[in-house]
């Protein structure tokens, strides 16, 4: 009888500790779910580069990227600006960066079959994805005998958020 | 000394060290063109290219790119009483920060004209350059929108002019009258428009 009297509070304590642990786990999971839901309400565009090319002309270089952009969030979004950020070292040894806008009309200069350039601004509904081609023209006059270092594609969405990605190694398009 | 200092709002900018130093203004002038800003007289400053080679390169580069974006803010750097600074944050085509600082007493008229024209030309150059010699050199036109600074500037400039006239021997209301008269005459000149 005495043992039972001693055991009852111990059992009660163990049960309450177990119950507290279960509640804490449940609360943690609820918090994680709420945070996940909240993060889906934050605008975010995820770009993916299918292909990247460039074509060298006498005084200019046209860069072409086939990109898909997905919007996995619960918020509608749009691409407002599509730019190429070019890093170069000028003839006077100044490290510089400049952004050039996407120009859909450059497709005429390429003569590479049927490609569909982005027509900005382009909307991307929630849980939707779009695909298109981005075209940029870097002229020799811009670089002025400077050395081209690297480039990044920048998307600016309708919420003013920037998404940058490195297009990696590009293939050259040549007329044969 | 300035009323506006009592209710100023401090701001900090995350910039590179060399960008925080005001760019040396070598000379100033003004240009009026029929097709720009309704023919208003737009001030031009020739800045020292050796101090900021990146700005010189930026101006050169801009000649080959579409018009860019810039954010501007009038203010005062800490510990620089008697001066007004124009903080320029270029966003496109390049991200560059620049500070132009003007001495209110010596360059107040220039600041006043920038505010009235709502624009400013910036041309990199070197010591001794004058617009008459460098008119064909690359320059950029910066839109300076109304940021709500004009009423504050009116008070600052008037106070400075009055203080200046007082230093030259005029007293009380005479100094104030002279300052207002000077300002009116100066602004008549600034109102010149090409038609």
Q: Which residues of B touch A102 (CB under 8 A)?
A: none
Question: Which residues of chain A have a CB within 8 Å of the CB of B61?
Answer: 96, 98, 142, 144
Of the CATH numbers 1.20.950, 2.60.40, 3.30.420, 2.40.50, which one belongs to the domain with range A46-172? 2.60.40
Helix residue spans in chain B (DSSP H): 3-6, 17-20, 53-62, 104-117, 131-134, 150-167, 172-190
The whole-angstrom separation of Cα B170 and Cα B190 is 26
pLDDT digits (tens, 9 = 90+) for B105-114: 889 989 999 9
Contact B54 A96 (CB under 8 A): yes
Report the residue of A99, A106, A140, A141 to disrupt the B interface, i.e. the one with the largest count of B CBs within 10 Å.
A99
Q: Is B69 on the interface with A (CB under 8 A)?
A: no
B58 touches chain A (CB under 8 A): yes
Q: What is the pLDDT of residues A101-144, one digit of tens each?
A: 999 999 888 777 778 999 999 999 999 999 999 999 999 999 98
Nearest Cα to Cα of residue B138 among B38, B64, B32, B36: B64
Tell me which chain A residues have a C-beta less than 8 angstroms from the C-beta of B93: 98-100
Return the minimum-mean-pLDDT range out of A47-51, A80-84, B62-66, B77-81.
B77-81
- B36 CB-near residues (< 8 Å, 6+ apart): B42, B119, B141
Classify each residue of B99-135 as buried b or exposed e, where b means 16 or more C-beta atoms within 10 Å of its C-beta: bbbbebeebbbbbbbbbbbebbbbbbbeeebebeebe
Inter-chain CB pairs, A–B, below 8 Å: 32
* H and E: helices and strands count for chain B: 7, 7
Task: State both tokens at B143.
Answer: 């839109």
Q: Which of A90, A97, A139 sits opposite B95 (nearest CB)?
A: A97
Q: What is the pTM of this model?
A: 0.80
Give the pairing type, strands A60-71 and A46-56: antiparallel
Tell me, yes or no, if B93 comes closer than 8 A to chain A by beta carbon: yes
Q: CA-to-CA distance for B157 and B109, rounded, in angstroms?
A: 9
The 10s digit of each residue's pLDDT in B130-163 is 988 898 999 999 999 988 899 999 999 999 889 8
A101 and B CB contact within 8 Å:
yes
Is A144 part of the contact surface with chain B (CB cutoff 8 Å)? yes
- Under the banding of pLDDT at 50, 70 and 90, the label for residue A78 is very high
Please state the domain extents for chain A: 1-40, 46-172
Specify the pLDDT at position A88: 94
Instruction: Say whether pLDDT at B190 is over 90.
Output: no
* Short-list A83, A109, A94, CA closest to A144: A94
Q: How far apart are CA B84 and CA B105, in angstroms?
A: 10
User: What is the interface pTM, i.e. ipTM, of the complex?
Assistant: 0.74
**Amino acid A109: pLDDT:** 80
Residue B129, pLDDT > 80, answer yes
State which residue of chain B sits closest to A93, comparing Cα positions: B53
Confidence class for position B1, pLDDT limits 50, 70, 90 = low
* pLDDT recorded at residue B6: 56
Average pLDDT on B65-93 reads: 91
CB B97 within 8 A of CB B87: yes
pLDDT value for B165? 87
Mean pLDDT, chain B, integer? 88
In terms of phi and psi (left: phi > 0; alpha: psi -120 to 50; beta: otherwise), the region of A106 is alpha
In 10 A of CB B60, how many CB atoms?
20
- State pLDDT tens for residues B34-45: 888 888 899 999
């Amino acid at each position: 009888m005495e043992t039972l009297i001693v055991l009852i509070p111990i059992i009660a304590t163990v049960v309450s500790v177990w119950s507290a642990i279960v509640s804490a786990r449940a609360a943690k999971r609820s918090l994680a779910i709420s945070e996940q839901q909240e993060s889906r309400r934050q605008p975010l565009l995820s770009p993916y580069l299918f292909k990247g090319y460039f074509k060298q002309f006498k005084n200019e270089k046209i860069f072409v990227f086939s990109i898909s952009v997905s919007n996995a969030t619960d918020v509608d979004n749009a691409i407002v600006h599509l730019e190429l950020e070019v890093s170069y070292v000028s003839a006077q040894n100044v490290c510089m960066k400049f952004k050039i806008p996407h120009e859909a009309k450059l497709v005429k200069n390429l003569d590479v079959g049927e490609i569909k350039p982005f027509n900005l601004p382009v909307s991307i509904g929630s849980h939707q994805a779009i695909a298109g081609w981005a075209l940029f023209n870097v002229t020799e006059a811009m670089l002025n005998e400077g050395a081209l270092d690297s480039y990044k594609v920048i998307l600016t969405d309708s919420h003013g958020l920037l998404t940058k990605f490195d297009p990696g190694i590009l293939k050259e398009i040549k007329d044969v | 000394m300035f009323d506006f200092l009592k209710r100023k709002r401090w701001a900090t900018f995350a910039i590179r060290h060399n960008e925080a130093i005001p760019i040396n203004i070598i000379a100033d002038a003004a240009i009026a063109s029929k097709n720009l800003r309704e023919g208003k007289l737009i001030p031009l400053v020739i800045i020292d290219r050796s101090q900021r080679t990146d700005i010189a390169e930026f101006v050169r580069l801009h000649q080959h790119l579409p018009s860019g974006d810039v954010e501007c803010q009038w203010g005062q750097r800490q510990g620089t009483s008697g001066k007004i600074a124009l903080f320029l944050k270029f966003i496109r085509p390049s991200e560059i920060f620049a500070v132009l600082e003007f001495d209110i007493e010596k360059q107040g008229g220039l600041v006043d004209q920038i505010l009235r024209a709502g624009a400013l030309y910036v041309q990199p150059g070197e010591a001794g350059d004058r617009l008459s010699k460098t008119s064909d050199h690359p320059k950029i036109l910066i839109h300076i929108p109304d940021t709500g600074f004009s009423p504050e500037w009116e008070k600052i400039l008037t106070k400075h002019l009055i203080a200046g006239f007082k230093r030259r021997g005029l007293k009380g209301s005479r100094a104030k009258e002279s300052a207002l008269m000077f300002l009116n005459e100066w602004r008549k000149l600034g109102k010149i428009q090409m038609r």
